Amino acid sequence: MSSSRSRPPLFVAGAVALALGSCGDGEPSSPQAATRPAPAVVVAELRAETVPVMRDFVARTEAVETVDIQARVEAILMKMEFEEGKLVEAGAVLYRLDDRTYTANLAAARARLAQARAQLKLAEEQVTVRAAEAGLAQSRARLKKAQQDVARLRPLAEKDAVPRQDLDTALAAEEVAEAELQASDAALVNSKIQEEVGILMARAAVEAADAQVALAELDVGYCTIVTPIAGLIGRTEVDVGNLVGRGEATVLVTVSSVDPIYATFAISEGEYLELAARDREREGERGDPPLELVLADDSVYAEIGRIVTVDRALAEQTGTLQIVGEFPNPDGALRPGQFGRVRLRMNVIEDAVLVPQRAVMEQQGTKIVYIVGEGDVVVLRTIQVVERYESFFVVTKGLEAGERVIVEGQLKARPGSPVRPMAHAVSAEPSEE
């Protein structure tokens, strides 16, 4: 973690010592000095406003999604359809494999499916059951005829009107007809079972053949390799002409998404407590503070980020809390693995007195400024600062809003001597390192 504070441009200690050495009772040392005009200096009137307290944290960019593109079937790599290191769209074709074997397998699977469907149709149109039903009907008719014969001959035989043998023959025929009826009924049941089983087996064969067609279609599809995500593609791991996918999936290339992109950073336990205290004080405010990303060349990234993930616990070894920020990256300017600094607003200071950094000098570790007091006389003032805000320091002691500080011409000013102040419009300027 690094702080966003930095020292302002400092005047050399010798110049300050020279100014201090000339301090006296303000009496001119010679008649020429008495008539010398007061030097012109540029002054700025101090202002007070609400300013954010910013902190910088070392960060590294990471892809939201990273996908290893793999060969899922064994085949010769025939063609590469992308340019290494460039952006690719989701669904873009990356490689083509030799699909001739898998195309032939697909044709064979489709033929087996057609055969299975024909077998199913044949099973559904079987006439075995209908034949068994007809046999059963015949058996019932024969039994009925035999029963009628017995009923007709029995009274005649009892009166000796017909030979007894004729009745015996009729009774035997009746028993045979009953046995035939039972056999026909059993044959019908058996035919129904066989027909049902045959249809079920034929349907199962159709489903199995259909599944084989689906698998063959997948294999053919795997010969055209596409990217499931949009992002930045790396260098190919396998050259055209090599056999891929033998035994296990072969990683061909890696694609990383870049829009949006993550920036991960860590804060200390103390900084976490500071943020938590701020959240309690501003409970009514919605949302997390916005994030800025300072790149390795100290330029500030144009897009504003947001916090998407805060780790559940502090790391035991470092005592820091991992935070993930997300930044839009529409033009792909950021890439995974870059280092930078995430700038986070930790707090807000109300009615902070701001002094331009170029007005501040340093003497033996103490920050001082020249102010223009009553009668346009220069006064040396020791100050204390806590933060840097844009091109200003936030002053906690030594200055008040409305006072005038010298921002240009300090070398010409001497404490206790008059100057000719010239107004300066105070505005936020790029801070100097």
Q: Decide if 420 contacts 41 (C-beta within 8 A).
A: yes
0.85 exceeded by pTM: no
- pLDDT value at residue 424: 59
Q: Which amino acid is at 224?
A: T
pLDDT at site 1: 41
pLDDT of residue 127: 59
DSSP string, 413-427: --TTSB-EEEE----
CB-based contact 426:47 (threshold 8 Å):
yes
pLDDT of residue 313: 93
Using an 8 Å Cβ cutoff, are 54 and 344 in contact? yes
With a cut of 50, list the residues of the chain below it in pLDDT: 1-29, 425-433
Per-residue pLDDT, 324: 96
- Mean model confidence pLDDT for the chain: 84
The pLDDT value recorded for residue 283 is: 62
Q: Classify burial at 364, counting beta carbons within 10 Å of its beta carbon; exposed 0-12, middle 13-18, buried 19 or more.
A: exposed
Segment 295-319, tens digit of pLDDT: 999 999 999 999 999 999 999 889 9
Residues 229 and 257: beta-carbon distance below 8 Å: yes
Are the CB atoms for 188 and 127 separated by under 8 Å? no
Q: How far apart are CA 261 and CA 258, in angstroms?
A: 5
Bridge-based pairing state of the strands 40-45 and 420-423: parallel
- The pLDDT tens digits of the residues spanning 341-364 come to 999 888 788 888 999 999 999 888
**What φ, ψ does residue 399 adopt, rounded to 5°?**
-140, 155
Q: In sequence order, which residues have a C-beta less than 8 Å from that of residue 324 and are 6 or more positions away?
A: 62, 262, 263, 264, 307, 308, 309, 310
Which pLDDT value is given to residue 129? Answer: 62
* Closest C-alpha among 419, 354, 420 to residue 383: 354
pLDDT of residue 4: 41
